[in-house]
Chain A
Amino acid sequence: MLIVRCLKSMFKKEETNTNFKEAETIIGPSVKVEGDFAGQGNLIIDGVVKGSVSTDGNLKVGEQAKITASVKADNAFVSGEIKGNMIIKGDLELTNTAKVWGDIEAKSICVARGAVLNGKFTMTGTKGDEETKETKQPEEVKIIEEDAEKIS
């Protein structure tokens, strides 16, 4: 049974890495990028980035990475530091070495024990979220109208 579990976990690891094997852009640890970095396809960052980062594909932020930028990506796997807001269309995974200072929007999130997250997290694309927003707004308006009647 143990062998089977090990084999399963090995194959799982391969699956998670396959997206990044086909990375079209790699910013290594010994490279500093400044400006609006827009990529198409998968992106791996291990270096220093200042400005903004956006990609249509997946983003992997390595342990040595230091990003001071707003980040947009399809899915993201973060092990390094990010100072800036993040908008992720799909899934966001923060590993135990991840440090994020900024607001995050994502469809789903997975935070490992030890990760640092300082900011507001908004879960996008959920039906309940939209309904609560729609119902809350008219109530607030009613209260204001009642108050206005009392004052008059």
Chain B
Amino acid sequence: MLAGRAGFATLVLLYAALVLLCLATLAAAGDLSIGRNPWDNLLKTLGEFARPSFVDVWFGPERLEYRSDDGTLLRVENRRELEAGFLAAVARAAWVTFQIATLGSLLAALLALPLALLVARNLRAPRPLAWAAKGVLDVSRAVHTLVFGLILVGIVGLGPTAGVLAIALHSMGTYGKLFAESIESLDMAAVDAVRATGASEAQVFFHGVWPAVLPQFVGHHLYVWEFNIRDSTILGLIGAGGLGLLISEAVSLFQWSRLATLLIVVVALVMLFDAVSRRIREALQ
């Protein structure tokens, strides 16, 4: 039906029409605004972010006095001690976040593996089983981690367990799709060669399929794991523990300098993990 250049041009036109429709709908509803004074707000926010709270651990005033308008001393703060305590709390929370991402990813990968074997078309699993597995993976991928988290907090209560399960349930769909695709891109000529020696199906799997897909599986695992480190920071917002809890606290109390600290920690965590996982993936080539 859609072939060649005319087909591609039609697709581009359809896409352009869709984008225009979205813009027009938003504009007609008057929702396409950026506030009354975006420029001032932007500068203000940037100014608050420019001095992350952790700087105070070394350079903050040791005796910060809060006074009322008539000069009465209300409260005295040792900024250095206070922020050092906050930093320790951030470290603990980052560790919880990392735990949620790690255990959730591992659980997801283990759950997804048998489903991916059923879904991969070239392994020719029985059709009804393949459909059922594909359905499970599609549902799991379609529902966001946050939604799973909200549901699970109601079931298993507040805390990291809900986070681990939420990550596992959503990532299972991602893993399943990635795993099935690497199995489908397999060199079937090698698999056929193993089968042609009269090896049993299990032997064919462990000698023809597994060695070829294992490095790709590890690569996918590292990728989704890294993704989940970001995702699990959000899970704290709904009470699943970790950095997200501190982020939601900082936002509610308008402590932008602390939010800046938290964001720097998240970015550092993700960058560190990315550097390590890239090394591992290169070594596996």
Q: Do A and B bind each other?
A: no
Chain A interfacial positions (CB closer than 8 Å to B): none
Chain B interfacial positions (CB closer than 8 Å to A): none
